[in-house]
Amino acid sequence: MTVSKDDAIAHIPPSASFAQAAALSEGGHYALSNIRAAKVSSGQEVMIYGATGAIGSAAVQIAKHFGAKVTAVANTKNIELIGSLGADKVIDYQTQDFTKTEKRFDFIFNAVGKSSFGACKPLLKTKGIYISTELGKNGVNIWRSITTPFFGGKRLMFPLPQTKKEDLVLLGELFEKGAFKPVIDLSYKLDQIVEAYHYVESGHKTGNVVLQIVSE
């Protein structure tokens, strides 16, 4: 196999392990792609729903890099973790109804797919944008991404994630500066791959689960 030097390939950051490099490019590129699609800029109010996952934990840090004020929605056990990633406010969805917050947002990123545009729409500002990582019931997010722009108000977007060379380079630079550290929950050896899949499918992981093909 050959790969062009201009394709989505970059050197592992000097201080990163192989596990960190793998996690860096997984949730990070999805988060970065969606944050760029929403054109997040300095001073904007951003909500990350599902902030404890691989994509959500990356989104918190990357949105902060772009200067946003981040409200993260997470579970009880990860409140301190998400706060340490830079979130300005963390809402515990196990004890609070995040839809009752009085704050209004320029961008709501549903990084776990367990809410909906309908539930989040009242929290958006007049020109606010909602993006989810999943299709929604019966693919509704695709249809709404086509129709909501015509009304000129709150929009649902469904951008297709793209991995570009410059994105990987940026993620590496953020890692080296300490602005983005991928969260790694557990690492499994190759002969534990079934156990690893079961854990991920349980829906209880925090950040990334890494499979070690060989020992470092």
- DSSP assignment of the chain, as one string? ----TTSS--PPPTT--HHHHHHHHHHHHHHHHHHHHTT--TT-EEEEESTTBHHHHHHHHHHHHTT-EEEEEE-GGGHHHHHHTT-SEEEETTTS-GGG-S--EEEEEESSS-S-HHHHGGGEEEEEEEEESS--GGGHHHHHHHHGGGGTSSEEE-PPP---HHHHHHHHHHHHHTS----EEEEEEGGGHHHHHHHHHTT---BEEEEESS--
Domains and CATH numbers, the chain: 26-181 (3.40.50.720), 183-216 (no CATH)
Using a cut of 0.75, tell me whether the model's pTM lies above it.
yes
Q: What's the pLDDT tens digit per position in 170-201? A: 999 999 999 999 999 999 999 999 999 999 99
Q: Which has the higher per-residue pLDDT, 216 or 112?
A: 112
What are the tens digits of pLDDT across the range 98-149? 999 999 999 999 998 888 888 999 999 999 999 998 877 767 777 678 777 7
